[in-house]
Structure 1
Amino acid sequence: MTGSDHETDVLIIGAGPVGMALALDLTYRNVPCTVVDSGDGRVRHPKVSTIGARSMELFRRWGVAQRIRQAGWPPDHPLDIAWVTQVGGHEIYRYERGTAADRPEFLHTPEPDQVCPAHWLNPLLLEELTGRDGCDVRLLHRLDSFTQDDNAVTAHVTDLTSGLPLTVRARYLVACDGASSQVRRACGIEAPYRYETQEFRNVLFKAPDLAGKLTAMGLRTAMVYFLLRSASLRFPMRSLDGAGLYNLVVSGATASHDAGALVRETIAVDVPVEVLSDGAWHLTQRIADRYRHGRVLLAGDAAHTLSPSGGFGMNTGIADAADLGWKLAALLSGWAGPAMLDSYDLERRPVAVRNLEAANANLTRTTGQVLPADLHADTAAGKQARARMADRLRNGGARREFDAPEIHFGYRYSSPLVLGERVELTPGWRPGSDPGYRAAHAWLRPGTSTLDVFGRGFTLLCFHPEAAPYGLERAFRDRGVPLSVLVCRDEKIAALYGHPYVLVRPDDHVAWRGHRPPDDPLELVDAVRGAA
């Protein structure tokens, strides 16, 4: 952007992971976009660390999954979750998850989850976007105000380095500006609290000798330690880099406690500790009443804030970006119907509601644990108390916080853009071709997933032994809607998908399936492009 005026197709407010994910999707679709953020791009207190498998699938599409895997997390570091009285003290229960190098191949995804905290992820994504045509990233630029008319949004921005004003004219504006979203408030969109706000502290610290000390004691390290110490020390201590950087979550009731003392109470072994930062934060669980105000849309924390329990928040936001990106591209290309943009709220808002409830259930499971007085005791009674606690954790769903494929994959979109029978997959989740769900992953050949052939436009998978339905191809062509056809002769994949014809949207979700071609191909095309 040069000068005092600038035009773009999509203006994204906020250069966090969700804003940059949307920019990645838009540039993948050759849609020019501009990203504005008042910060300088530095992450001073990283909190998010695990990128879910569905998000990694999307990063695979956008060409950055491998860079994320190579960002720094040691492939031989255990991904285990351990519930302990103290780190290096009594271990009560462990969920063994192997390491990134030795865990079994995931059958339902080509891209398992990956540890990549924000101080690695954000600069990586920023570097990717800076090198891509069609994306203009402006850090240290503040959105002051905006207006919209029937054709565009006009945003007034200040360059915080020079103090000069900038006017940006965009076809659409997407707010990815966080939980206290300025854009959401300016649109008059409410985001009511669904549960009582709670206060916590994040203590970022270094303990580079801790892992070595634990190993020398014959103890297996973990990625996350859940403390069962006290009412305030019962939250996770998480390794952020596998090499001595940790984040400790503590109840806000400890506001007057010294951060170093809290860390020393958390760790049972004597190792040097350096506290890097200590900040209070408020856990809010809110969902915006609506995700759209004319040409302004909300995504990520601007649309929903979840408990971090389970790590669903950022991943929900990245899925927002994947849903919204192709729809904006369709509108800007001229083939989308009037219902296209409304479907964003219809599809994504129920997912946020569901994920918020799942995250809150995880939080409640943690805060609701009753800690027996003798849980820490080196006595027979203490041993019995720890055994009972282990049974409660094992049988009480503690693993669900870290093994939740139904959260990452098992959501169904219900909107006019999805046709076919309603299939509710309860309990749990299974891959397949059910309308509204993410289409199943399967290996077409070594290194190439079914998901790798989706994305640019609609994809028609044909498992029928005869020729593809050319009437449907012609209907897509007549409406100007991009379609590719893949004829698949693999019997196992055909059995997985279950229908000879499966139409997959640009975001991997199934739009329609049938045992025979549609009676009216144009009617089908108009429905999936939002023009029915």
Structure 2
Amino acid sequence: MSAHHCETDVLIVGAGPVGLSLAMDLRYRGVDFLLAEAGDGTVAHPKVSTIGPRSMELFRRWGVAEKIRDAGWPGDHPLDAAWVTRVGGHELFRLALGTADSRSLPEHTPESNQICPAHWLTPLLMREVGVHPEGPVRTECTLEDFSQCEDGVLAVLREGLDGKPLLVRARYLVACDGSSSQVRKACGIDAPARHESRLFRNILFRAPKLRDQLGERNALVHFLMLSATLRFPMRAVDGCELYNLVVGADGGAGAEMDALSLVSQAIALPTPVEVLSDSPWRLTHRVADRFRQGRVFLVGDAAHTLSLSGGFGMSTGICGAADLGWKLAAELAGWAGSALLDSYEQERRPVALASLEEANGNLLRTVRRPLSPQLHQESAAGERARAEMSRHLAESDLRREFDAPQVHFGAQYRSPIVQVDPAAPAGGDQPWRQSAAPGSRAPHAWLRGGVSTLDLFGPDFVMLCRTEPERRWQLEHAFAQRGVPLTTAVCPAPAVTRVYERAHVLVRPDGHVAWWGDELPRDLGWLADKVRGAGAGG
């Protein structure tokens, strides 16, 4: 059987939200790519449904934030987290987070997190990018083999079970093929476990009357406090009738009981239930030793797998895609220095490690919380036990799992392409606040109706200035000489001045700050070389 041939700049393997986000960033930058997805593009069992606020900022840039907001989550459904003996039973503590319609925007972002389960999000992004033959996404297309050479990657794909092989010559290959990444293993890159693995079951079920029955007791997430097996969240998936119950399955009832019985135990109210799927999965906490092997890059779960507690995993992957996308575009356009592509791992691997620890800390708070059997007793002893647990929960740092700007926005990159200011505050400050210090995500401030400073950043470097720079021509000439795209934006607004702190702030194409200062450097060519990865030191 003869093979088809094609060439592209970037071959992406895996069309989950992270692979599709990289595709959207490359499309935004005019880079030619092909995306191979082994599945048919549908999601049978959505596990992830919250899109973090930094990811929403990126979706805003790529033009799909409004579509995500309109995907179907009801605006009046509570976004609260509630700790309960059983759903519809005794409520011990509630973290009130409003609804999509009623909550106010945080001061630090133009985009709140959004609920868009994977069975909505993946098809939405796939339609946006475009499926073959109209677009570059090829479904039911499996990577069979690949090899690297000096100037590219040769990959063998197969479309369908009986389809012809497709030989793809690409300049780069990006693996977004999940936690058991075939590409990572083929590259010989290890991803050692960093904490104890745990076995869970995800039970997806339909309960069409439950929302009406719960009324004001509805929540986005109900944390059960029933047993070691049923102490994990039951989550509203679509805000209407779909729910996902996480069950500990390392032994005992969680491994032995049928799905319907487990759901019936979790819900205190008699309500019709239809189990749709029951999927076992093993939680591992892994970060790959390397994120790059020659012309092959790992992004998303291929590079790191985190506990679901806190909802950082998908966001960490999407932000990694945004970091890599502009660097690949720069390399392909010919203006990248020799250090630029290596900076992807240097910047994103520390973020993955920190996010993994934060997520595991959230999980351990749940796992280690003692559950008294008296919590469920209808007696004076039961009332005392519930009151004591309510006090314990109120005094715990529960909000950190659901409102974590220091995780979503607090990454402060340290790499050869960032001119770090030793006098600037270090990342991780508590309480967290926005900062324009080099390495940080550039702060949000409103400029005029509905326009954020973030809307100024995208395809080019942007020099954000308080006033018209005296040496603007020399600055733009230094970047143009090297082929580095640069625009200058003058923003004298007090709100911008307050959060940007310096008279000049150079923002990279991914929205992170590369340099700041009250005066432009004397050697502007040095600055252009530094931020494109061609400079030596600071």
Q: TM-score range by the shorter chain?
A: over 0.9
Identify the range of structure 1 (46-55 vs 456-465) with the bigger mean alpha-carbon deviation: 456-465
| AA matched with 2:408 | H
Which string of whole-angstrom CA distances, capped at 9 and with x for unpartnered residues, describes residues 435-463 of structure 1?
10001001111111110010111000000
SS in 1 for 2:20: helix
Contact 2:131 2:139 in 1 (8 A): no
The residue type paired with residue 529 of structure 1 is: R
Q: Is the 8 A contact 2:46 2:117 kept in 1?
A: yes
Q: Distance in 1 between matches of 2:101 and 2:279?
A: 34
Number of the residue aligned with 2:54: 54
| Equivalent of residue 498 in structure 1, options 482, 498, 501 | 501
Shift of 1:467: 4.0
Contact 1:468 1:487 in 2 (8 A): no
Aligned to 1:486: 489
Correspondence for 2:426: 424
Alignment of 1:237 onto 2:234? yes
1:89 aligns to what? Answer: 89
SS of 1:255's partner is helix
- The offset of 1:331, in angstroms, is 0.2
Provide the C-alpha distance between the structure 2 equivalents of 1:290 and 1:428, rounded to a whole number of angstroms.
Answer: 32
Preserved contact between residue 27 and residue 133 of structure 1 (Cα < 8 Å)? no
Stretches of structure 1 lacking an aligned partner (at least 5 in a row): none
Give the whole-Å Cα distance in 2 for the aligned partners of 1:132 and 1:323. 26
Query: What is the match of residue 405 of structure 1?
Result: 405
For residues 178-225 of structure 1, the C-alpha deviation after alignment (integer angstroms, 9 at most, x for no partner) is 00000000000000000121100000000010011122xxx4310100
Q: How many angstroms does 1:373 deviate by? A: 2.0
Q: Report the RMSD for the aligned CA atoms in angstroms.
A: 1.5
What is the 5 A alignment of 1:27-426?
27-130=27-130, 136-215=136-215, 219-252=216-249, 253=251, 254-422=254-422, 423-425=425-427, 426=429
Note the C-alpha offset of 1:394. 2.0
Q: d(CA) in 2 for partners of 1:133 and 1:303?
A: 30
Contact 1:410 1:428 in 2 (8 A): no
Q: What amino acid does structure 2 have at the position aligned with 1:230? A: S
Deviation (angstroms), 1:466: 5.5
d(CA) in 2 for partners of 1:495 and 1:427? 19
2:26 counterpart SS class: helix
SS state of the match for residue 388, structure 2? Answer: helix
Q: Does 1:446 align with 2:431?
A: no
* In structure 2, distance between residues paired with 1:242 and 1:375: 28
User: What amino acid sits opposite 1:463 in the alignment?
Assistant: R
Tell me, yes or no, if the aligned pair for 1:27 and 1:134 is still in contact at 8 Å: no
Shift of 1:133: 11
In structure 1, C-alpha distance between the alignment counterparts of 2:53 and 2:122, rounded to whole Å: 18
Matching residue of 2:518? 515
Give the corresponding residue for 2:527: 524
Counterpart contact for 2:131–2:138, Cα < 8 Å: no
Measure, in 1, the Cα distance between the counterparts of 2:523 and 2:162: 58
Q: 1:237 and 1:209, CA in 2 relative to 1: closer, same or farther beyond 3 A?
A: same
1:470 positional shift: 2.7
1:29 to partner: Cα distance: 0.2
Matches within 5 A, 1:449-488: 449-464=452-467, 467=470, 469-488=472-491
Paired residues of 1:465 and 1:489 also in contact (CA < 8 A): no
| CA shift for structure 1 position 512 | 0.1
C-alpha distance in 2 between matches for 1:449 and 1:3: 49
- Say if 1:27 and 1:132, in contact at 8 Å, map to a contact too: no
Rounded to whole Å, the distance in 2 between the matches of 1:484 and 1:277 is: 51
What is the Cα deviation at residue 432 of structure 1? 2.4
What TM-score, normalized to structure 1? 0.97
SS, match of residue 359 in structure 2: helix
Equivalent pair of 2:83/2:222 in contact (CA under 8 Å): yes
Letter matched to residue 525 of structure 1: A
Residues 218-247 of structure 1 deviation map (CA, whole Å, 9 limit, x = unaligned): x43101000001011000000000001000
Aligned CA distance change for structure 1 residues 132 and 530 (closer, same or farther; 3 Å)? farther
The alpha-carbon deviation at position 379 of structure 1 amounts to 2.1
In 2, Cα distance between the equivalents of 1:395 and 1:474?
Answer: 57
Q: Distance in 1 between matches of 2:266 and 2:185?
A: 40
CA distance in 2, matches of 1:331, 1:135: 23
For 2:352, give the aligned amino acid.
Answer: A
Task: Pick closer, same or farther for the CA change 1:290–1:344 going to 2, 3 Å.
Answer: same
Unpaired runs of 5+ residues, structure 2, are none
Equivalent pair of 1:471/1:521 in contact (CA under 8 Å):
yes
Residues of 1 paired with 2:223 and 2:15: CA distance?
A: 31
Residue 384 of structure 1 deviates from its aligned partner by 2.0
Native 8 Å contact 1:462 1:468 kept in 2: no
Deviations 1:476-497 (A, max 9, x none): 1111100010011212211211
Give the Cα–Cα distance (whole angstroms) in 1 for the partners of residues 131 and 69 of structure 2. 20
Out of 155-164 and 27-36, give the one that drifted further. 155-164
Could you tell me how far 1:105 is from its partner in structure 2? 2.2
Distance in 1, Cα, partners of 2:520 & 2:473: 9
Retained in 2: the 8 A contact 1:469–1:517?
Answer: no
How much identity, in percent, do the aligned residues show? 57
Amino acid at match of 2:17: P
Q: Which amino acid counterpart does residue 103 of structure 1 have in structure 2?
A: R
Tell me which moved more, 473-482 or 125-134: 125-134
> Can you list the C-alpha shifts for 1:2-40, whole angstroms capped at 9, x where unaligned?
971000000000010000000000000000110001111
How far residue 465 of structure 1 moved from its aligned partner, in angstroms, is 5.9
Supply the distance in 1 between the matched residues of 2:293 and 2:469 (Cα, whole angstroms).
47
1: CA distance, partners of 2:234 / 2:217 = 15
SS at match of 1:419: coil
Q: Which runs of 4+ in 1 moved over 3 A?
A: 131-135, 464-469
Q: What is the rounded CA distance, in whole Å, between the counterparts of 1:516 and 1:68 in structure 2?
A: 41
Cα–Cα, structure 1 residues 361 and 450, in superposed 2: closer, same or farther, change >3 Å?
A: same
Contact 1:153–1:173 (8 Å) recurs in 2: yes
Q: Is this contact kept in 2: 1:31–1:134, CA < 8 A? A: no
Give the conservation status (yes or no) of the 8 Å contact 1:306–1:313.
Answer: yes
Following TM superposition, by how much is the alpha carbon of 1:104 offset from its aligned partner in structure 2, in angstroms?
1.4
| Residue correspondences, number | 528
Distance 1:16 1:466, change over 3 A: closer
Question: Partners in 1 of 2:333 and 2:393 — Cα distance?
Answer: 52
2:36–2:141 Cα contact (<8 Å) kept: yes
